């Protein structure tokens, strides 16, 4: 099934207030990003999206006063792989070694939702028309929610890049935003995939080696210890939050089935008992809506938050690793210089090399420090916002649920 963001917005009006996603991207006017140095504006968002059979097409919309661009406002269509390409380009760029690279958005995954829709279609004959319609609506809402989420994640990535003082000026980024033809990112072939695999293995091994060395600098030593533990724990919390959300969803679904069965019981006759069943059936259906909302909001404010900062903390770890690597290179260059001086051979070359390594390391360290401090600020702000919103939404739903129960009880008791 296909869906476009415009259609999604229309559908959303039919439902109750839709969930909002990560803190950085509320639908509506974008925060305008002004570069204080050049006084240029750069605003990026995903204005539309189309979901086709096995891919999603994002319409990336840019508003900018930067001289680099031909126009002030323009749009291009991009797919997920192109976002990944952009991310990888940043990672591979040595100049950006000192930055926390904004994590790539996760791949849009409609498989589960599609499977469910298919199963529903197959099972159409075995359920009543009402049940079928109800389930179809639920699944469509689910599909829609996943769709909106993936749009949000891709948008967050672009906004993070646009907000970064250096990355926003990256040439690849500008090409990504402006080049209105297919970037022709071909997927990696087998050989390249294998290379990637080995690169990762080496990296992991390296991380262990490098991570074991105690850093002279207190700040970085602390950051290393912190990020390592934090990354593990947030990974665990994200997994557990997912399970929690799923459990809530199961309870919501059960309420729906109870409602359906009560409805069947209630429509068999028009006795008092049947009227009673119908009232209770209605209660359970409304309960289902509330529980589904609770589940969705927990997913948004808790699970998504944790998953995002898991990726960011991983990017932070990567940064630390790069710095550590650079430090090792610097130390090796020092040793080489000493040996050269001792043998009095190739001293100049060794000196230049050592100086380069030193500069690289120091530049990296300086930017890494700032980036990690910014990371902390962002993290704390995001957690605060999401936890507050989580609590507010939980309160809203509980109050709604309470009111629902109270009015139902009044109605049921009043019948006596």
Partner 1 sequence: MAAELRPPLILDPESEGDSAEGEDIFTGSTSPSEMDSTKISGNSSKTNGIHSDDEQDIFAEATVELSLDSPENGNQTKPSTAGLTVTVPPGSAIQSQTKIYQELEEEEVEDEEDQFDVNVTVTEPEKVGDGMAAYMAYKVSTLTSLSIFKRKDFSVKRRFSDFLGLYDRLSEKHSHNGFIVPPPPEKSLIGMTKVKVGKEDSSSAEFLERRRAALERYLQRIIKHPTLLQDPDVREFLEKDELPRAVNTQALSGASLLRMVNKAADAVSKMTIKMNESDIWFEEKFQEIENEDQQIRKLHAVVETLVNHRKELAMNTAIFAKSAAMLGSSEDHTALSRALSQLAEVEEKIEQLYHEQANNDFFLFAELLSDYIRLISAVRGVFDQRMKAWQRWQDAQTTLQKKRENEARLIWANKPDRLQQAKDEISEWEPKVLQCERDFERISLTIRKEVARFEKEQIKDFKSRIIVYLETLQNSQQQLIKYWEAFLPEAKAIA
Residues that bind partner 1 (CB under 8 A): 222, 226, 229-230, 233-234, 236-237, 239-241, 243-244, 246-248, 250-251, 254-255, 257-258, 261-262, 264-265, 268-269, 271-273, 276, 280, 283, 376, 379-380, 383-384, 387-388, 390-392, 394-395, 398-399, 401-402, 405-406, 408-409, 412-413, 415-416
* Closest C-alpha to 162, from 40, 4, 288: 40
Q: Choose between 138 and 170: whose C-beta lies nearer to partner 1.
A: 138
CB under 8 Å to 210, separation ≥6 — which residues? Answer: 321, 324, 325, 328
CA–CA separation, 288 vs 225, rounded Å? 44
> Least separation, in Å, of the C-beta of 91 and partner 1?
26
Q: Choose between 185 and 390: whose C-beta lies nearer to partner 1.
A: 390
CA–CA separation, 90 vs 121, rounded Å? 44
Which residues in 168-180 are b (16+ Cβ under 10 Å) and which e?
Answer: bebebbbebbbee
What does DSSP say about strands 56-64 and 33-35: parallel, antiparallel, or unpaired? unpaired
CA–CA separation, 212 vs 216, rounded Å? 13
> What's the distance, CA 37 to chain centroid?
30
Length of the chain equals: 416
CB under 8 Å to 378, separation ≥6 — which residues? Answer: 312
Q: Choose between 23 and 62: whose C-beta lies nearer to partner 1.
A: 23
> Least separation, in Å, of the C-beta of 416 and partner 1?
7
∠ CA(245), CA(250), CA(251), 5° rounding? 100
> Least separation, in Å, of the C-beta of 307 and partner 1?
13
**CA 360 to each of CA 326, 329, 339, 349: distance values in angstroms, whole numbers, following the listed order:** 7, 10, 21, 16
- SS3 for 57? strand
Q: Choose between 206 and 389: whose C-beta lies nearer to partner 1.
A: 389
Q: Choose between 18 and 400: whose C-beta lies nearer to partner 1.
A: 400
> Least separation, in Å, of the C-beta of 149 and partner 1?
20
> Least separation, in Å, of the C-beta of 144 and partner 1?
24
> Least separation, in Å, of the C-beta of 268 and partner 1?
6
**Cβ atoms 167, 99 nearer than 8 A:** yes
Q: Choose between 345 and 376: whose C-beta lies nearer to partner 1.
A: 376
> Least separation, in Å, of the C-beta of 228 and partner 1?
9
Q: Choose between 87 and 301: whose C-beta lies nearer to partner 1.
A: 301
């Amino acid at each position: 099934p296909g869906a476009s963001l415009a259609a999604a917005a229309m559908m959303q009006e039919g439902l109750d207030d839709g969930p909002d996603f990560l803190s950085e991207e509320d639908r509506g006017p974008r925060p305008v990003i002004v570069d204080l140095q050049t006084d240029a504006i750069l605003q990026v968002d995903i204005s539309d999206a189309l979901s086709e059979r096995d891919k999603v097409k994002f319409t990336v919309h840019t508003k900018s006063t930067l001289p680099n661009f031909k126009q002030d406002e323009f749009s291009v269509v991009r797919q997920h792989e192109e976002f990944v390409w952009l991310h990888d380009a940043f990672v591979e760029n040595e100049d950006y070694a000192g930055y926390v690279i904004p994590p790539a958005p996760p791949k849009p995954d409609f498989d589960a939702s599609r499977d469910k829709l298919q199963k529903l279609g197959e099972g159409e004959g075995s359920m009543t028309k009402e049940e079928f319609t109800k389930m179809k609506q639920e699944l469509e809402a689910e599909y829609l929610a996943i769709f909106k989420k993936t749009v949000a994640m891709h948008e967050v990535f672009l906004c993070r890049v646009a907000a970064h003082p250096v990355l926003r000026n990256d040439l690849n980024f500008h090409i990504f935003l402006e080049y209105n033809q297919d970037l022709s990112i071909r997927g990696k072939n087998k050989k390249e995939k294998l290379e990637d695999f080995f690169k990762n293995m080496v990296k992991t091994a390296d991380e262990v080696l490098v991570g074991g060395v105690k850093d002279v600098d207190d700040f970085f030593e602390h950051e290393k210890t912190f990020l390592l533990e934090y990354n593990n724990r947030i990974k665990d919390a994200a997994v557990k939050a997912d399970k929690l959300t799923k459990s809530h969803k199961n309870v919501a679904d059960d309420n729906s089935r109870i409602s359906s069965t009560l409805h069947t019981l209630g429509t068999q006759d028009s006795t008092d008992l049947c009227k009673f069943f119908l009232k209770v059936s209605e209660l359970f259906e409304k309960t289902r809506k509330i529980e589904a909302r609770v589940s969705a909001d927990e997913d948004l404010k808790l699970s998504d938050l944790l998953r995002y900062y898991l990726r960011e903390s991983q990017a932070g770890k990567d940064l630390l690793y790069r710095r550590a690597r650079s430090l090792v290179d610097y130390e090796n260059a020092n040793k080489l210089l000493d040996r050269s001086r001792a043998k009095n051979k190739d001293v100049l070359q060794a000196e230049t090399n050592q100086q380069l390594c030193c500069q690289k390391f120091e530049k990296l360290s300086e930017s890494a420090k700032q980036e990690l401090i910014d990371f902390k600020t962002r993290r704390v702000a995001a957690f605060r916002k999401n936890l507050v919103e989580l609590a507010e939404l939980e309160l809203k739903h509980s109050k709604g649920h309470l009111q629902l129960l109270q009015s139902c009880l009044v109605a049921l008791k009043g019948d006596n």
